[in-house]
Structures are given as structure tokens and as C-alpha cells.
Amino acid sequence: MEYNKIIAVTGLPGLYELLSSKSDGAIVRSLDDKTTRFVSSRIHNFSHLESIEVYTVRDNVNLVDILKAMEASAEKLPDEKDGADLKTYFTKVYPDLDFGRVYSSDLKKMVKWYSVLKANNIEIKLSEPEEEALEETEVEEAPAAPKKEAAPKKKAVTEEAPAKAATAKAGTTTEKPAAAVKAEKAVTKEKAAPAEAEKPKAKKAAEVEKPVKAEKAKKTEEAAAEKPKKAAKKK
């Protein structure tokens, strides 16, 4: 019989060995009369002895520490019904107990439980955690597959190309964005439009001036021809 299977049941005296657990209770065996019974969890609560702690003037200690101190002590067990005798006993066996929070009923339980454990030859010790055996397996690491280079993302058609900076020997020049070039071309066309519109007017003016010049030249020639005639008459 192992200490980690020993439980206390509220409402029932003594200690019990936990045989099996059920969803609605547990099957236990009394350490006093060895009878087996089913105890409903709806009516009773179960407490494993190895999970019980006791108040001290410092940090709480496990019940095992108190029981081991009783086992190692040469003091005679006190009368369970005598509160003063109980306190005197534990003051000698474990003086760090906080007697302001550990009542006479608690001291009585510890003496009773110790007697039952010793009568059933149960070793008082906490169970050690089971160490899980880890299987060591050698796994050959597969060579990592070469990473594929990500294909360059295609830019959207509507995205304007950013301005490129070209560094020359004399300094740094920056190309204008495509949008700015388009705007300058539009302005140039607007300036050129009026000049082209004036070309027909200039042509018409030239056509009007031609007959006028011809007529003037004719008159000049006629005047030149008449000068000799006038000179002959005078003579």
C-alpha cells in the first residue's frame, strides 16, 4: 500500500485507500476495518494526504514533514482527547506550527492519521514524479531544397515610372517624370498654335501687296519714259 493512494473523506472517520475513481465518486477501502465501499462525490469530498499542507509561522509545509517529525521524535503520542496535551506534544515535536490557525481538531487528526499509517505499515513519503523514458532516434536531415528566386513583379500599366537619377562627372542630373514631360509638350503645342494660325494672314497680306508694287513700278516706268519727251519740246 502506497502513501500517495491514501485519502481522507469528509464526513467519514479515519483514512481510506483509493481503489478506483468514477465520474460520480470513488471506490475506497477503510484502513481501520478493511471494508470496501462506494463513496459519492456529490456528498463527500476527497483529499489526498500528500496534497495537504499545514500552517507554520513561516511558509506552509506538507503534512509529510509533520508526520516525519513525529516519526523521528522520541516523545510519546498524546491523548487525542486532551487539547492541552496535544499542543504540548506538537510544541516539542514541531515548534514552528502556527497554533493560531492550526486548531486542536487538526492536531487530533494528525495524531490519529499517524497511528493508522503506522498500523498499516505504510511508508510516509511523497511519491516521486515518474521520469518518462525518451527514445533517442537519429533523424537524417534532408538537404534543404534550393529556394526559387521570386519572379519580378510586373508593374501596373497605369503606374507612372519614377524619376531616375543619373550621376555625371560634373554633377547630378535628374530626369523629369513622364507626366512633367507630357505637360511641357502640351504647353509647347499651345504656344506654337497661334504662330501657325498667323501664317495664312501673312500670306494674304503678301498677295495684296504684289499688285500694289507692280502698279507703282509701272507708273515709275511711264514717268521715266515721259522725261525725254518733255525735254525735246523745250528745245
**If you write DSSP's letter for every residue of 99-144 in order, what string do you get?**
TTTS-HHHHHHHHHHHHHHHHTT----PPPPPPPPPP----PPPPP
- Is the same domain home to 111 and 209? no
Average pLDDT over residues 122-151: 60
Asked if residues 17 and 1 have their Cβ atoms less than 8 Å apart, the reply is: yes
**129 lies in some domain:** no
- Is the same domain home to 9 and 115? yes
**189 lies in some domain:** no
User: Of 127 and 62, which is predicted with more confidence?
Assistant: 62
Is the pLDDT confidence value at 130 over 80?
no
Average pLDDT over residues 195-209: 50
**28 lies in some domain:** yes
Q: Predicted confidence band at 215 (pLDDT cuts at 50, 70, 90)?
A: low
- Is the same domain home to 108 and 10? yes
Among residues 88, 119, 150, the one where a domain terminates is 119
CA pair distance 99, 107, nearest whole angstrom: 9
Is the pLDDT confidence value at 85 over 60?
yes
Q: What integer pLDDT is reported at residue 127 of this predicted model?
A: 86
Is the pLDDT confidence value at 175 over 70?
no
- Is the same domain home to 110 and 206? no
Q: Among the listed ranges 24-28, 109-113, 145-149, 173-177, which one has the minimum average pLDDT value? A: 173-177
CA pair distance 199, 216, nearest whole angstrom: 26
Asked if residues 24 and 38 have their Cβ atoms less than 8 Å apart, the reply is: no
CA 108 to the chain's CA centroid: 53
Domain containing residue 93: 3-119
Average pLDDT over residues 46-52: 95
- Is the same domain home to 113 and 206? no
**24 lies in some domain:** yes
Q: Predicted confidence band at 1 (pLDDT cuts at 50, 70, 90)?
A: confident
CA pair distance 230, 35, nearest whole angstrom: 176
